[in-house]
Amino acid sequence: MQAAVRALTIAAVAATAFGAGCGEDSGRDAAPSGAGHPVQQVALPKEISSVGRAHVAGRVLREASGATATLDERIFAPLVGDLSPTAALSADGRSLAYSTWADAPGVDYRHLDAGDAIGIPSIRIHDLRTRSEQLLALGADSFAWRSDGAIAYVRANEPMYRSSSPYPGHVYVRRALAAQPERWSTEPGRYVVVGWAGSRLIVYRRPFGEQLDVAVFDAPGQARVLARDAGVVAIEPTGERLVVERGERMEVELLDVAGGARLASLHIDPESVGPVVYGGDWAGERVVAPGNGKLVVFHVADDLVLEHVIDFGVSAFKSGGISDARFLDDSGNRVAAIASVVEPLTLEQAEAGMEEFNAPGSAFVVTCERTTRACRRGPGYSPRTWIQLLDDSAGRRRR
């Protein structure tokens, strides 16, 4: 979904704007990003065309073929934002899991006191063959499919989210949709499921404030921290490595999941490239990450190399941006993302009481060829519509 609306929604519901900073220091020193790596200015496409990437917008599932299906509820995940996929296919392609949200009766987001009831998140399963649905978990706000059909998710101790509440919960795993959930965490906390790395589960833990720690569950009850104050850009399809970003240090790092060692580190030039953020993808030897009005592609072998930067220009998005970057092929040549162009409020609109969440604009799927930088855009949606590219990583890890 579009970055600006997600940030505004999260701030209104939970004040959960996440940063990145320092972490483990084992491994090689940071390598320079290297001036001379191609940073290509590309105009944000204006002409609307069909875009071959399945996504969910509101209650509508739009498949790559153009076929559509209607979900029982709208996709919406204000407590998670871009930290975790909010619409994902099972490895066999039969089931769609998605996050949704129900406001508490009479909630007024403009006037909230500590302890006021705000709403309940939940995870639903849509059967793509029968078009029937079922509730997976109430009070649950992040999930990930495993390649064998298991699904992990976080469920709060109490379903209702309340203003100024830490909303503690536990990590659960079901071996199948009909199986009983098994609790993997030993202590309640604020967790966010990121994804599976083979049989290991990658999560965020929020020890305090806005800090995010990247942790891994090796098995039920066996958790350890991989990187403190960091965001996950992408998990290798084999599950052996992952790439994290450390925004304040302008670095990305390649980490070994099993041992936790830092295998490589790359400094990002703040002027030509700018920060990269979580919510990217990994295909073959390439990783793509959303940037500040950019799509940033790295080559990943034994080290990290900045390979391509498609720069749409920050000004093209007004108050919006790029989020949810994913590859469209196994070679890592074609990439898709959500782009949002949100007009800043005029003085008259602000004085009339319009909130930024209602600002006019458009959000759409943009796809680009990495090597040619040729880009296309799909049909536009209101910036208030939550849009999510369909996460098919469980199926890719199965192959």
Query: How would you label 257-282 residue by residue, b for 16+ Cβ within 10 Å and e otherwise?
Result: beeeebbbbbbbbeeebbbbbbbbbb
Measure the CA angle with vertex 314, ends 360 and 370; round to 5°: 110
321/398 Cα distance (integer angstroms)? 32
Residue 269 near residue 283 (C-beta atoms within 8 A): no
This prediction's pTM: 0.88
Q: At the top level of CATH, which class does the domain 3-398 belong to?
A: mainly beta
Cα-flanking dihedrals φ and ψ of residue 304, to 5°?
A: -115, 130
In the sheet with 231-235, reading across from the earlier edge strand, the strands are: 231-235, 241-246, 251-256, 262-267
Please report, in tens digits, the pLDDT of each residue of the chain (399 residues total): 444 334 334 334 443 323 333 333 333 344 444 444 578 888 888 877 776 688 999 999 988 777 889 999 999 999 998 899 999 999 999 999 999 999 999 999 888 999 999 999 999 999 999 999 999 999 999 999 999 999 999 999 999 999 998 899 999 999 999 999 999 999 999 999 999 999 999 999 987 667 899 999 999 999 999 999 999 999 999 999 999 999 778 899 999 999 999 999 999 988 888 889 999 999 999 999 999 899 999 999 999 999 999 999 878 787 678 999 999 998 899 999 999 887 765 666 565 665 555 556 788 899 999 888 889 988 888 877 899 999 999 987 655
Residue 61 near residue 75 (C-beta atoms within 8 A): no
Q: Where are the domains of the chain?
A: 3-398
Tokens of 52: 């071959």
Cα-flanking dihedrals φ and ψ of residue 298, to 5°?
A: -115, 145
In order, the DSSP letters of 351-364 are HTT--GGG--EEEE
